[in-house]
Each structure stands twice: as C-alpha cells, then as structure tokens.
Amino acid sequence: MSTTTAPNYQSDQAIAEIVNKYGAKPMALIMILQDVQKHHRYLPTDTLRLVAKEMNLPLGQIYGVATYYKSFSLKPKGKHHICVCTGTACHVRQATVIVDKFQRDLGVKPGETTSDMEFSLETVNCLGACALGPLVTANDVYYGNMTVSKIDKMMNKLRGKKTEEEAEAEEAA
C-alpha cells in the first residue's frame, strides 16, 4: 500500500511478481499497470517494456492503455499526492476556489508536479463523499469542507511532517 516505496526501476522481479499475481492474460493489463503504478508512483518506460515482455503483449498495446486511462501517469509523481475533488457537488460548493488556491501556492497546474518533487496536484471527477464537499485528499487522507485557510493548515502539516521525519533521521544519525 505504501506510496513511499523507494523506486526501483530495473526491478524485473517486482514486475514479474505483479504479473504472476494476475496471470499474464490481457484482461489483467489495467490492474497490472495499476499495481506497477502503485509501486513506482508512475509508469516508467522501462517497466512498460518489462510488462510487455512478461505478458507477451506488444508494447504498443500497453502504451495505448497507459495513455488512454486518466489514472495512469508516464511522468514521475511527487512525494505528496494532493487531489482536489471537482465532482458536481464539490463544484457548486466552490471547488474551483480550492483548485485555484493550490495552483497559486504550488505554482503548478492540475496534473503537474512541483520541481522539487514534493507535491503533485491532481483533480478527480468524484470521490463520492459529497457531504464533505469541497473535498481534498492528501496522500489518501480525506480533508472535508475545505476552505482556503484550511488548505494553509493542511499544507503546513504536510510540510511539517517532512521536517519532523528529517529531524528524526538526523537524531538517528
């Protein structure tokens, strides 16, 4: 489940394990790519080649699927994954103000990652927790009824967590 697994792009073993879990049938391709993406946080080109080899499928088909579906990314993702729900219910509760705020603060558009690889900003069409709209998830944690000032708190927490970890690492060293 961890999204912070250290990327290991050349890991034939890991890819083979994922493919074996589902069996090398074309039907499982989307799920295999989802698991690969979970492992690397994105789909590196090398791994797509490996999947093609393991599944005995043309690379073109795999590339086609990887670029067709919205949930796949061929670009590396940041350490923290911020996702703003822009479903209709959130939209009428001013989700655009929230998206604008993240764009301004992070300096990236939805679908992009900050240059320091810390934050990726994304929008999703509906998470189905409409009672909590506008809704933001950060690393799969839900933040409901968001306002611009709650974003500041949330971001401080995310940034703060990082420094705490660093502090711990320093202490350990």
Partner 1 sequence: MNPGRLSSPQALIDLRDQLINQREENKTIITVCAGTGCLACGCEAVTTAFREALQQSHLDKDVEIRTTGCHGFCERGPLVVIQPEGMFYQRAKPADAKVIVDRTIKNGELVKKLLYRDPQTKEVIVHEKDIPFYKKQMRLVLGKNGFMDPTSINDYIALGGYQALAKALTTMQPEEIIDEIKKSGLRGRGGGGFLTGRKWASCRKAKGDPKYVICNADEGDPGAFMDRSLLEGNPHSVIEGMVIGAYAIGSNDGFVYVRNEYPLAVKNLSIALTAAREHGMLGDDILGTGFRFDIEVSRGGGAFVCGESTALMASLEGRAGEPRAKYVHTVDSGLWNKPSNLNNVETWSNVPLIIEKGADWYTKIGTQGSKGTKVFALTGKVNNTGLVEVPMGITLREIICNIGGGVPGNKRLKGVQTGGPSGGILRVSTNGEGIPESGIREEEKVVNLIDLPVDFDELTKVGSMMGSGGMIVMDEDSCVVDVAKYFLNFLQEESCGKCLPCREGLRMMLSILTRISEGKGEMEDIAVLEEISRALSDTSLCDLGGSAPNPILSTIRFFHEEYVAHIRDKHCPAGVCKELVSHAIDENCIGCHICFKVCPSDAIVGKPKELYTIVQEKCIQCGACYQICNYNAIRRVKRDEGEIVQRRAQEVWKPRIKAKSAATA
What six digits make up the tokens of 74?
Answer: 């061929």
Per-residue interface string for the shown chain with partner 1, residues 8-27, x marking contact by CB under 8 A: -----------------xxx
Q: In this structure, which long-range contacts are made by residues 102-105, counting pairs with CB atoms below 8 Å and at least 24 apart in sequence?
A: 102/151, 105/151, 105/155
Single out the residue of 149, 169, 170, 172 in contact with partner 1 (rule: CB under 8 A). Answer: 149
| 69, amino acid identity | Y
Single out the residue of 9, 74, 92, 162 in contact with partner 1 (rule: CB under 8 A). Answer: 92
Closest C-alpha among 160, 148, 79 to residue 119: 79
**How many residues contact partner 1, by CB under 8 A?**
46
What six digits make up the tokens of 136?
Answer: 């933001």
Find out whether 46 and 10 touch, Cβ atoms under 8 Å. Answer: yes
| Cα 75 to Cα 26, 32, 62, 100, 109, distances in angstroms | 24, 18, 16, 22, 14
CB of 74 to partner 1, least distance (A): 14
**Which range, of 42-50, 65-73, 112-120, 154-162, touches partner 1 by CB under 8 A?**
65-73
**Which range, of 2-10, 45-53, 64-72, 159-167, touches partner 1 by CB under 8 A?**
64-72
Single out the residue of 65, 108, 154, 158 in contact with partner 1 (rule: CB under 8 A). Answer: 65
Which positions lie near partner 1, rule CB under 8 A?
Answer: 25-31, 33-34, 61, 64-65, 68-72, 86-89, 91-94, 96-97, 100-101, 104, 124-133, 135, 142, 144, 147-149
